[in-house]
Amino acid sequence: MKTKYQFTAFLCVMGLLSYGQKGIPPKEDTKKVTITNFPTHLEYSSSLASGLKTANGWQSTPAATGLGKPRMLYIGKKGQLYVTRRDAGDVLMLTDTNNDGRFDDMTRVADFPGVHGITAKDDFMYLCNNNKVLRYALNADGTLGKAADTLIKDLPSGGQHANRTMDFGPDGKLYISVGSVCNDCKESDKETAAMLQVDPQTWKRRLYASGLRNTIGFDWQPQSKEMWGVDNGGDTKGDDWPPEELNKIIMGGNYGFPFAYGKKEVDQSREDPVGNTKEGWVKPTQASIMDFPAHSAPIAFAFFDSGKNKGDALVCWHGSWNRQNPSGYKVERIKFDSKGNPTGSEDFLTGFLIGNERFGRPAGLAIGSDVVYISDDANGIIYALKQK
């Protein structure tokens, strides 16, 4: 039986759930890192939210509050908004019953420890955590069937980067991003620091691209149908290097991790790989297309599929935790031309960072026909952005 809550009475109770990991993380995972300049947290207030700055022609309103730590988002066929909550281990369905632009009803539609990635296809919803991919039947009212099919149960151990994301591509295949187990080490499992491709007929998978340290956000450019993603650079290498990357992800492409970042910049702090030099190993890899400030921490990334913004993309910068001058804490628009090539970028939603204080960390992103939803997992908010 489903459980419903009105937001006026809802106080989120966070359940910190742990989930199993296969194998033993490399030694680098146990290395302690000192947090040097994590901006001070500010609790959400309507006055702070009113100070957010949007791109010209857009306006932002809080569409839901009190959600704990909302992460990835997905818009349903009837305008419902699905929200994964990794720490609480559940999925919420938010509904605006009176069409006033604010969600006033919530249904918990799934309980799944560590759930993060979400997508849907052909009347089924797909969810994933560190190790598993589950499939649920979608009911007519948007709720999920009680029984879930376990499609995959042996994704690689998450280690430091356990936030799996997935989506179906234009070719009908399912793509799953698997981050590196550690901050900066040569992976022992070829399926880590990689993009996997899954055949939905057999649920067998293969390596699609490698050398991607942690590409949580990825999507397909609507004009070119090419896959693009934003990759997180490594930590503990200084305030300004390595950069965060925008990559065009191609089948068989190697994107350099752990021996290079950005425009094939060799990491001279690493030892040479066995039987090769760093420079020799890096030479055949793929260079980034655009670079962004180090430690900005990209999470969600999605394209506008229709309307006058069609072809451009948005990226949520979760924000730095280890940079002397904080970076990120905003949503940025990356402009693409009619051929599907990026041409530049501009701020889309800013104001979460005030000096060395922050009251929000953009995480999830869903773009609808007339609205953009952005989740803030620091203060439990969903923002709705619409064009004026």
Listing DSSP states for 191-221 in one string gives TSSEEEEE-TTT--EEEEEE--S---EEEE-
Q: For residue 360, with 0-12 CB atoms within 10 Å meaning exposed, 13-18 middle and 19 or more buried, which class applies?
A: buried
Q: How many CB atoms lie within 10 A of CB 45?
A: 11
Find out whether the peptide bond into 258 is cis, omega within 30 degrees of 0.
yes
Alpha helices in the chain (DSSP H): 46-49, 278-282
Question: Do the beta carbons of residue 196 and residue 207 sit within 8 Å?
Answer: yes
Q: Is the pLDDT of residue 35 over 90?
A: no
Q: Would you state the pLDDT for residue 36?
A: 56
Distance, CA of 272 to CA of 280 (rounded, Å) = 9
pTM: 0.90
Q: Would you state the pLDDT for residue 115?
A: 98
Q: What is the mean pLDDT of residues 56-70?
A: 98
Q: What is the mean pLDDT of the chain?
A: 91
Distance, CA of 119 to CA of 90 (rounded, Å) = 15
Q: What is the pLDDT of residues 173-221, one digit of tens each?
A: 999 999 999 998 888 899 999 999 999 999 999 999 999 999 999 999 9
